[in-house]
Amino acid sequence: MHPLAALAVVSTGQLTSLSGIDILILVLYFAVVVFIGFYVKGTTNTSEEFFLAGREMSAWIAGLSFVSANLGSLELMGWAGSAYQYGILAMHWYWIGAIPAMLFLGIVMMPFYYISKTHSVPGYLQLRFGEGARGLAAVSFGLMTILMSGVNMYAMAVVMQTVLGWNMTFSIWVGAATVALYVMLGGLRSAIINEVLQFILIWAGAALIPILGLIEAGGWDKLKANIAVNVGNSSYTHMWSTLGHFKDNPMGINWVGIVFGLGAIISFGYWTTDFLVVQRVLSANNLRSAKLAPVIGAAFKMAVPLIVILPGLICLGLMQNGHPMFHLVPAEVAKGNPLLHSYDQVLPLMLIRYCGPGLLGLGITALVAGFMSGMAGNVSAFSTVWTYDIYGAYLNKKANDKHYVLMGRVSTVVGMLISIGTAYLVMNAASIMDYVQALFSFFIAPLFGTVILGMLWKRATKWGGFYGLLAGTLSSIGMFLYTSTGTAAHKAHALSVVALSADAQPMAENMFRALWSWLICVAVTVIVSYMTTPKTDAELNGLVYGATIIPHDGSVGLLQKPIFWAGVVAAVFVGLNILFF
Amino acid sequence: MAEGTGRGESLSIWFFVGMITLLYGLVLTPYGAWQWLTHHPPANELLLPWLIHLHPTFWWGLLLLTFGAFYTTKYRPGTN
C-alpha cells in the first residue's frame, strides 16, 4: 500500500486529521497570541506607539520581525512547491533574490528612512518628491496590500480544507478575527511580538521535516543522486551552472533574468520599498539598530531554504522500487481529484509523512503562524498607510493624536473585513488570484526606481519622481496586458518579445517585465528631472545622499558595526552560492 | 524595561518565546516518552520503520523544553 494513501482520508479528500494533542498545541498558540494583544494594549496609546511600536525595538526584535512578516503561508507552501517543480533554482528567491537587497537596505538606505523620521515609505516620497508621488504610492500600496491579504487568507483556507478538511469559512474567519483582534489592540507592537514568536514556532514546527528527510535519503549527496534519477538529469540541483540559456534549466530562465530582473530589481524593490517589511525596521530604537536589523534578518533569511526549499527537494528525491514516490501536478490539474496532489501541497505532505500526533500539531501551528504573521504584516502596514498617508494627508489633516490612533484601530478591522471580502471573491472566481498577485508586482519595480533615485541623486525633482513612477507603473501594466491577453500564439510571441527569447517561460516574463518597468521609470525620472527645477541642498538635508550629514550610529568597536556583520553575511552568501553552483 | 513590550511592562518578548516553547516541550516530551516506553508508535512511524527508533516526538519535545526553560528563566519578570 502506498504510504501516503494509508494516511489520507480519501473519502473526504482531506489528507489527515488532528488528534487531541494536536488540537491542544493549536489552542495554546491561539491563547498566547491573543493574550499578547491584550497585554501590550496598555502601552499602545499614542500614534507613535500604535504605528511604529514606540520606536523602541532592539535590532534583534526588529530583524526577526522583518524576516517573519515576509514568511507568510503563500511564501512557505508556494516556494516548497516551486522547489519540487523547479528544483534548487527556487533557492534564488531566498539568496540573490533577498540577501543583497536586505544588506543594501540596512547599510545604505536605512539611514535616510530613519533620520528623516518618516512613518512610512509613501511618507518618505512626500518629503522627497511631494504629494503626487506620495498619493500614487499610498493608494496603490493600500489597495494592493489589502487585496493580497485576502488572497493569502483564501490560500490558507484552501490548504486547511485540503489537509484537515476544515470548512473554508471557519478558517478564514477564525484566522482573520484573531489577527484583527491582536493588531487592533496592540498595533505594530503586538504584530511585532507575535511575528517574533511566530518565526520561532515556524522553525519549531517545520525543522524536523528536512532533518528526518535527509536521514531517510541518506544525506545530501544521496538525495541529489536520487533527484537526478527521478527527473532524468542533474539540472535540478545546480543553482547557476544551468542558467546559461533558457532551455538548460526547468524554470526556462537565464542568468540575466535572475541577476538583473530578480536580484537587482524585484528583490531590491520588495525588500527596500515595500512598507510591509520596512515598517518593522522603522520601529528600531536607534540608528545602529535600524542598520543592523536588516543584516540580522538577512542572516536568518539565508537559513529559511532549509525549511522551505529542502522539503520540496526531499519530496522530489523520494523513491519507491526505483521510481519516484510522488507525482505532484499543477493545482488546476489536481482540483477535484482527491487522488492527485498539487505542488503547493509538498510541505503538508512531508509534514504528514514524518510527523505523528503532537509533532503534526506543531507543524500545523507553524503553517497557521506563517499565515498569521503574513496577515498581520499586511494589515498593520495598511492601517499605517491609510491613517497617515491617505486619511491624515487628504481627508482629515487636523485631527489630534488620539483620533489617529482610533482611526488606526478602526482601519485595522475594516481592512480585515475587506480582505475577507476579497477572499470570498477569489473563492468564487479563482482567476482573480493570479491578477491580484500580478497587480502587486506592477508597483514594486518602479517604486524602487523612484525611491533609489530620490535617495542617491540630488538632481531628481518632484515632477521627475512623479512621472517616473507613473510611467514605470503604466508600462508594467501594459506589458502584463500584452503578454496575458489574446490568442495562445500571441501570448507566446509577446512573452518572447518581453523576455528576449522564444524559449522563455512565464517566470522569466515576471523578471524581465520588472527590469523594463524599472528602466522606464529611471529614464523618465532622469529626463523629466533635467527639464524641471531641483530642490536646494538645504531642502534635501536628511533625505538625499550628498546633501545629508549622516550621524554616527553609535557603534563602538568592530563587532558592533553593522557594516562588519553585513560583510560577514555577504561572505557566507557568496560561499553558499559557490557551494551549490 | 521589558524588551519589546513597552515602557513599564514586566514581561519581555523573549519571555513569551520561552513560555510557549516550554509549554510545547511539556506537552510533547511526556507524550513522546509514553510512545517510546509503551511501544505505541504513531501511524506514520509504523509505515516508516526506520523512524520508530529515532523517537522524534520525545527528542524534539525535550529540545523545546530545554530551549523554553532557558528563555523563561533568563527573561522571567524582575530580571531585566
What's the pLDDT at B16?
94
Let me know if residue A513 belongs to a domain: no
- Looking from the CA of B53 toward its CB, the CA atoms found within 13 Å total 4
Let me know if residue A282 belongs to a domain: yes
**pLDDT-derived band at A178, boundaries 50, 70, 90:** very high
Instruction: Give the count of beta carbons closer than 10 Å to the beta carbon of residue A314.
Output: 27
Give the nearest partner residue to A43 out of B6, B17, B24, using CB atoms. B6
Q: Taking the mean position of all CA atoms in its chain, how far away is CA A484?
A: 24
Please determine, for residue A305, whether its predicted confidence score (pLDDT) is greater than 90: yes
What's the pLDDT at A11?
39
Q: For A217, name the nearest residue in chain B, comparing CA atoms only.
A: B50
Instruction: Give the count of beta carbons closer than 10 Å to the beta carbon of residue A177.
Output: 14
Distance (Å) of CA A441 to CA A3, A446, A472, A479, A512: 40, 9, 11, 12, 12
Note the pLDDT tens digit of each residue in A306-354. 999 999 999 999 998 889 999 999 888 887 787 888 898 899 999 999 9
Please determine, for residue A10, whether its predicted confidence score (pLDDT) is greater than 60: no
User: B47 is written with which cell numbers?
Assistant: 509505515
Let me know if residue A460 belongs to a domain: no
3-state DSSP of A113-157: HHHCCCCCHHHHHHHHHCHHHHHHHHHHHHHHHHHHHHHHHHHHH
Let me know if residue A247 belongs to a domain: yes
Let me know if residue A53 belongs to a domain: no
* For testing contact with chain A, the best of B44, B47, B71 (most A CBs within 10 A): B44
The mean pLDDT of A503-519, rounded to a whole number, is 85
**pLDDT-derived band at A203, boundaries 50, 70, 90:** very high
- Does residue A18 belong to the interface with chain B, where contact is any CB pair within 8 Å? no
Strand partners, A319: A324
The answer to whether the CB atoms of A7 and B60 lie below 8 A apart is no
User: A471 is written with which cell numbers?
Assistant: 510611467
* For testing contact with chain B, the best of A27, A212, A280, A320 (most B CBs within 10 A): A212
Q: Which residues of B touch A359 (CB under 8 A)?
A: 28, 56-57, 60
The mean pLDDT of A482-488, rounded to a whole number, is 88
CATH number at residue A337: 1.20.1730.10
Distance CA A223, CA A575 (A): 21
Q: Which of A90-94, A157-161, A173-177, A380-384 has the lowest mean pLDDT?
A: A157-161
Instruction: Give the count of beta carbons closer than 10 Å to the beta carbon of residue A548.
Output: 18
The mean pLDDT of A432-458, rounded to a whole number, is 82
ipTM here: 0.93
What's the pLDDT at A61?
95
The answer to whether the CB atoms of A189 and B4 lie below 8 A apart is yes
Min Cα–Cα distance to chain A from B30, Å: 11
**pLDDT-derived band at A393, boundaries 50, 70, 90:** very high
Let me know if residue A285 belongs to a domain: yes
Q: For A201, name the nearest residue in chain B, comparing CA atoms only.
A: B21
- Hunting for cell 494509508 — which residue is that? A6
Helix H or strand E encompassing A28: helix A20-41
What's the pLDDT at A8?
39
How many residues in total does chain B contain? 80
- Does residue A33 belong to the interface with chain B, where contact is any CB pair within 8 Å? no
- Does residue A20 belong to the interface with chain B, where contact is any CB pair within 8 Å? no
User: A113 is written with which cell numbers?
Assistant: 528612512
Q: For A59, name the nearest residue in chain B, comparing CA atoms only.
A: B4
The mean pLDDT of B23-44, rounded to a whole number, is 95
The answer to whether the CB atoms of A212 and B4 lie below 8 A apart is no
Please determine, for residue B23, whether its predicted confidence score (pLDDT) is greater than 80: yes
Let me know if residue A205 belongs to a domain: yes
What's the pLDDT at A503?
83
The range of the structural domain enclosing residue A87 comes to 17-45+58-435+553-579
Calculated CA dihedral for residues A206, A208, A210, A215, nearest 10 degrees: -170
CA quadruple B66, B68, B73, B79: dihedral sign? positive
Please determine, for residue A438, whether its predicted confidence score (pLDDT) is greater than 80: no
**Structural domain count, chain A:** 1
Calculated CA dihedral for residues A116, A121, A126, A130, nearest 10 degrees: 130
Let me know if residue A467 belongs to a domain: no
- Does residue A206 belong to the interface with chain B, where contact is any CB pair within 8 Å? no
